[in-house]
Amino acid sequence: MKTLFAKFPLPVLAGCLALLPALATAGPICSAEAVQQAAAAIAEPREIVRSAIEANTDLDTDLQPVASAAIVTLKTRLLALVDAQVACLAAGASAKADGLDAALAAAVRGAIKPDPAMPSEAVAATPSNSAGDADAAAVQFESALLHDGALLSVVAQFGIPCGSDALWLLYAVEQGHWHRVVNWTSPRYSRVDGAWGSFHYAVSPPAADGRWFAAAAHIRPWCSSSWSVIDYAVLRPGSEADRPAVVLSGKDDMWWGGDDIGRLSVDATHVELRFHGASIDSGVHNREFIRRYDVSTTTTLRVPPIANSARDFVDEWIVSSWAAAQVWSAKQQLPALKREHEQLRIARKEGSFEFGATLACADGKAVQVEIDRGDDTSAYFRVTGATDFAMVAIADKPDPLCVKVTPPPAE
């Protein structure tokens, strides 16, 4: 049987084999030239995106194909730039990321060709971002060391028509070098709401076995409204950086007025996202939504708190699917509660709801929440629990033993 080694003399073969351990442990090579080349490659797609922003005076939410393609190219080349710059960053106990943002910004700034029609003093006076980039397609970098220097996070964000998009990269220390383990960004899109605006993330502390997860959220940009959609996901490193294991993903309508982009937090086994969205009461502008999950096993489970108050819980119970709502319902009342749930969801489509009083009941365990269905009838919801709320019963008439008024939740 022939082998691949048959053509090589033994001394040469021995030399090749001696190199194998060194090649196996070699990390990315730091090269100033590679950084410069990667930065220079950003200029062309960035200019196309900038032109698309400036041309969008009509606040058009559709992107031209050339702009859509340029956004993909820009993110691909930003990834190459960050990879090249991170290769020059010490890893392990000596890691310091303080200068990484500045180094990336300097690389981008060095690749920018100033407009010859603009006087130098005007260029100097123009507000710029961390990259010294004074136009609408400005690139911003935000890096951080996590897990006592075992992980490095880099977020690159840039402007698009009516918003911004983001690229998130996570690196881990392997054999003394930084190796990319997560590459998380949007796929190609043809409308601005396909971008990942107001991107934010959180990384869990490592579990006893060293495993960790990451949570990320973003708001879909739009040109004319502060009502939008928030998307969120929980990830674990996969076999490839470009294909992390998605443990959980979801989306909800939200209101991000006042620059409230949501609050994302994690611990070793849980992820929680809080944001504001519409109430079923047309007279209540918004309420806080809570999405909290246990991600300690392969199956994610939504866990309390489900809402901040009994009134918000009733709201959440009605708008949620029955598959979710039944988990928060008294088991002995499931058939009756399911019928009520179906009828309430139909009634909500046909009219508007309005909350009435929330009353504490005599047993000290339950509260009664009133809802005007909008058809001259009301429903009275009996809810137990302080933070782990449960729907116990729904009646057409109030319970005379529920009389103490409780304050409505803060809006």
Contact 39, 46 (CB under 8 A): no
Polymer length of the chain: 411
* Residue 276 pLDDT class (50, 70, 90 cuts): very high
150-172, pLDDT tens digit by residue?
999 999 999 999 999 999 999 99
Tokens of 274: 């809080």
| Residue recorded with tokens 């006042």 | 258
pLDDT for 9 equals 41
Question: HSE of 374 in the Cβ direction (CA atoms, 13 Å)?
Answer: 14
DSSP state of 316: H
SS3 32: helix
**In the chain, helix, strand, coil percent, each to 5?**
30, 35, 35
Instruction: Compute the distance between CA of residue 164 and CA of residue 150 in angstroms, rounded to an integer.
Output: 29
Instruction: Compute the distance between CA of residue 240 and CA of residue 393 in angstroms, rounded to an integer.
Output: 49
All structural domains of the chain with their residue ranges: 330-405
* 386 residue type, one letter: A
* Residue 292 pLDDT class (50, 70, 90 cuts): very high
pLDDT for 112 equals 74
Q: How many CB atoms lie within 10 A of CB 9?
A: 8
Q: Which helix (H) or strand (E) holds 261?
A: none
Question: HSE of 222 in the Cβ direction (CA atoms, 13 Å)?
Answer: 14
Quick one: what percent of the chain has pLDDT higher than 90? 75
Tell me, rounded to whole angstroms, the distance of Cα 384 from its chain centroid: 32
**Mean pLDDT for the chain?**
88
223-253, pLDDT tens digit by residue?
999 999 999 999 999 999 999 999 999 999 9
- Determine the longest span between alpha carbons in the chain, in angstroms: 98
Check residues 125 and 44 and name the one with the higher pLDDT.
Answer: 44
* Residue 126 pLDDT class (50, 70, 90 cuts): very low
281 Cβ neighbours under 8 A, 6+ residues apart: 315, 352, 353, 354, 355
371-409, pLDDT tens digit by residue?
998 888 999 999 999 889 999 999 999 999 999 887 667
Q: Which helix (H) or strand (E) holds 344?
A: helix 334-350
* pLDDT at residue 75 is higher than 80: yes
Q: How many CB atoms lie within 10 A of CB 268?
A: 14
Instruction: Compute the distance between CA of residue 137 and CA of residue 42 in angstroms, rounded to an integer.
Output: 11
* pLDDT at residue 21 is higher than 50: no
Quick one: what percent of the chain has pLDDT higher than 70? 87
pLDDT for 114 equals 60
Q: Which helix (H) or strand (E) holds 110?
A: helix 100-111
Which is it for the CA torsion 394, 397, 400, 405, positive or negative?
A: positive
